[in-house]
Structure 1
Amino acid sequence: MSSENSDPTNPAEVVDLFCGVGALSHGLKRAGLRVLAGYDTDEGCRFAYESNNDAKFYKADVSKLSAEDIKKHYSGQAPTVLAGCAPCQPFSTYKHRYAEDPQWGLVGKFADLVVGVEPDFVTMENVPSLVAYKNGEVFNGFCAKLEAAGYQVSWEIAKCEEFGVPQRRRRLVLLAAKDQTIELKAKSGKDLISVRDAIGNLPPISAGETHPDDPLHAASSLSPLNLMRIRASRPGGTWRDWPEDLRAECHRRDSGKTYPGVYARMTWDDPSPTMTTQCYGFGNGRFGHPEQDRAISLREAAILQSFPGDYAFAPEGKKLPFKEVGRWIGNAVPVKLAEAVGESILRNLGSSANEPRIQGETV
């Protein structure tokens, strides 16, 4: 579908595969692209996706989609974008997965869909370790399929904090365009956004409490032992700061001494550590609040992923599935990184990519 037919009031149309709760779609939307549809197998993501992105959610297994299923969404009157982040767990260094994990094949399926759909632009985001996974077989195969179909491909390991995300996170970002070079826009050059900048103005809550005005500003409870541990923790410190009687048995073994980044507090004046699918748990990483005696709340985790402060994850009045929401947030593409991707696409269309068409709160 050629960009010669583009409508300047509708610079590009997007279909988002593996969309989750819509972080990638939201960033592209904020940049000024029109998101049409998102596909994911998790029905629980429907509300967040549709209510925040003005786009339709389709519960479907991407491995079973055809090119025709995707093509039907595009109007034929604007440039087209196919976006996606295949599940990263098989490639993650956080958790070993067997080489035969069927999810790694989804990257190849995404490439096949690109070849069949022939969008003007492609973007894929994933963990950096995908590049070396299976000696580069998966990633190199993806790039080779696109190049054989006439795409020019660029990629980099992006430092998310350099794109306005208040979090130290490394992500593989790939961009491809038909018959033209495309690269991720230059970094902002602005000062990094700290934890204090991002969440310092949120009202205080206690462990196990939910703020009455925001059901997402909810913190997991702490056992009496972990409450003593967090009270003995200092921002930027480790469990080594604790009295001996508070240390876990695994920390007392020699093998446990190489894991200082668990049961720890964040620091106010630096970006946060990488958000994971268990970022709401004090014992799961450096996820302790810098000052309050609790782990960060779900809302704080979402803001550190650069979701807008009012991003809705469940209908008003409905009880939030706490751990599910934590997983959705941890799995998300940082919204500000996605926005940079959208601005990069707009720049190649001749739009003023430095002036996002949708303004609003970012962190």
Structure 2
Amino acid sequence: MAGAATATSRYSRIREDLDMSIFNSNWREVDTDKVSMNGTPLFGDIFSGAGGLSVGFRSAGFRKAFSAEINKHASETLRHNFPESYHFEGDVADLSETKIKSVLEGRKLDVLVGGPPCQGFSVAGKRQIDDPRNELFLEFCRLVEICQPEFFVMENVPGILTMQKGAVTNAILQKFEDIGYPETSVRILEAAEYGVPQLRTRAIFVGNRLNVKNPYPKPTHSRDNYISINDAMDDLKNLPRDPATNHEWTNHSAAYEARISKVPAGGSLYETFRDAFKRQYSGVPSMAAKENHGGTHIHYEKNRVLSARELARLQTFPDDFFFKGGMKKAYWQIGNAVPCLLAEKIGLAIRAGLTSSN
């Protein structure tokens, strides 16, 4: 329990400071249980990965117009699970305005979502927003400009907010203002506070061109009633391997299993690679899901790593959502995804924003 408490409070100070800042006050919380489900707003998802944001927005009653992802296996997953929408596989820089307009066929895009990697921001020293290493973030901005959605949602790691003592965040907000979205805010959301059985924080930027406060979902859970790892996947622990449902895990030798059996809750199998092969605590949400090239978390009870399907449960993917590319590629896709339930709550909040602006 101690390890879980430490994880959930890791960004508590910056989260509090961010929410209290007068320069980041253009947001409001929405009770997502009371959101009207009238209509079917349209969204696009770029830098989609396996589609955690897409699953969540679909569950919130949105219809997907298109997605874009460069990874081959994640693209196969998206096409398999979202056959009704257009998918662009390749460098998002090659996704042209002409192509987007042909896909939209004159329809208005209500929301554009995505999680562009921001490698250039992580380099020490003074960096400009237009640094070539930030090309993917700039591509996100380009597509926002093209699509002119009522809202956009951009997710990223919360560490981005502390880079260069907040200068990176200010530069991002300024860039969005420059492209016509002066009403942009950023908050840190903890997935466990929205019913996800996992402690996972994300920085969520929301912008709009409707001159309204950006809607964020009101938390539905607290540390007193978090959904535990057991609640999420205990029914899978004794099932045999099943490639048809992604319930597969790394093969372990008897000697390796013996080593795993000695790892205590919160501990790691390795001294020098302590962010992988960590034994999960029972009775609390899991630690943040990781893909780690097959070195995913150790089961809280079994002497093996979690299966891909168990990891997907922690990311709140539905059981009928199938990941293409085999076990290792499934681990990668799942570990890098946005928890679907968190995305759904964000989507419901955005619906409230769309409704209130009409």
Identify unmatched segments of 5+ residues in structure 1.
Answer: 1-7, 240-247, 315-319, 352-363
Does 2:258 correspond to 1:228? yes
Query: Please, which moves more after superposition, 187-196 or 67-76?
Result: 67-76
Please name the residue that 2:10 is paired with: none
**Partner residue, 2:291:** 277
Shift of the 264–43 alpha-carbon distance from structure 1 to 2, 3 Å rule, reads closer
8 Å contact kept, 1:17–1:39: yes
CA contact (8 A) 2:198 2:285 kept: yes
Look up the SS of the partner of 1:189 in the other structure.
coil
- Aligned counterpart, 2:280: 266
1:300 alignment partner in structure 2: 310
Cα distance, 1:195 vs structure 2: 0.5
Q: How does 1:3-14 map to 2 (within 5 A)?
A: 10-14=39-43
| 1:116-265 alignment, distance < 5 Å | 116-133=146-163, 136=166, 138-148=168-178, 149-178=180-209, 179-189=211-221, 191-204=225-238, 210-211=241-242, 214-237=244-267, 251=271, 262-265=276-279
Q: Percent identity?
A: 31
Give the conservation status (yes or no) of the 8 Å contact 1:10–1:34: no
Pairwise CA distance, 1:270: 0.8
Q: Which amino acid aligns with 1:57?
A: H
Alpha-carbon separation, structure 2, partners of 1:135 and 1:104: 18
Deviations along 1:194-251, one digit per CA (max 9) or x if unpaired, are 000000111525xxx7237x44100101244421111222334455xxxxxxxx6xx4
Alignment check: 8 A CA contact 2:69 2:91 kept: yes
- Tell me what 1:348 maps to: 353
CA shift at 1:51, angstroms?
A: 3.0
Question: Which secondary structure state, in structure 1, belongs to the residue aligned with residue 65 of structure 2?
Answer: strand
Partner of 1:330: 335
The separation in 1 between residues aligned to 2:289 and 2:56, in whole angstroms, is: 18
Q: CA deviation at 1:176?
A: 1.0
Partners of 1:11 and 1:79 within 8 A in 2: no
Match of 2:31 in 1: none
Q: Which sits farther off after the overlay, 47-56 or 120-129?
A: 47-56
TM-score (norm 2): 0.77
Shift of residue 17, structure 1, vs aligned partner: 0.7
- Using the TM superposition, name which of 264-273 and 70-79 deviates more: 70-79
The answer on 1:87 being equivalent to 2:97 is: no
Cα distance change on mapping 1:90 and 1:225 into 2, 3 Å:
farther
Secondary structure at the aligned position of 1:132 is classed as: helix
Measured in 2, the distance between the counterparts of 1:81 and 1:309 equals 26
Structure 1 Cα separation of the partners of residues 103 and 168 of structure 2: 28
Shift in CA distance, 327/341, structure 1 to aligned 2, threshold 3 Å: same
Taking structure 1 as reference, are residues 111 and 78 closer, same or farther at Cα in structure 2, changes over 3 Å only?
A: closer
Report how many aligned residue pairs link the two structures: 311
Moved more, 180-189 or 294-303: 180-189
Aligned to 1:291: 301
Q: Residue 338 of structure 2: SS of its match in structure 1?
A: coil
Question: Using a 3 Å threshold, how does the CA distance of structure 1 residues 322 and 262 change in structure 2: closer, same or farther?
Answer: closer
In structure 1, C-alpha distance between the alignment counterparts of 2:118 and 2:339, rounded to whole Å? 14
> Which residue matches 2:54?
25
The amino acid across from 1:296 in the alignment is L
Alpha-carbon contact 1:277-1:326 (below 8 Å) kept: yes
Moved more, 64-73 or 103-112: 64-73
Q: What's the counterpart of residue 357 of structure 1?
A: none
Q: Distance in 2 between matches of 1:130 and 1:180?
A: 25
The Cα RMSD (Å) is: 2.9
Cα distance in 1, alignment partners of residues 176 and 101 from structure 2: 17
Higher alpha-carbon deviation: 302-311 or 183-192:
183-192
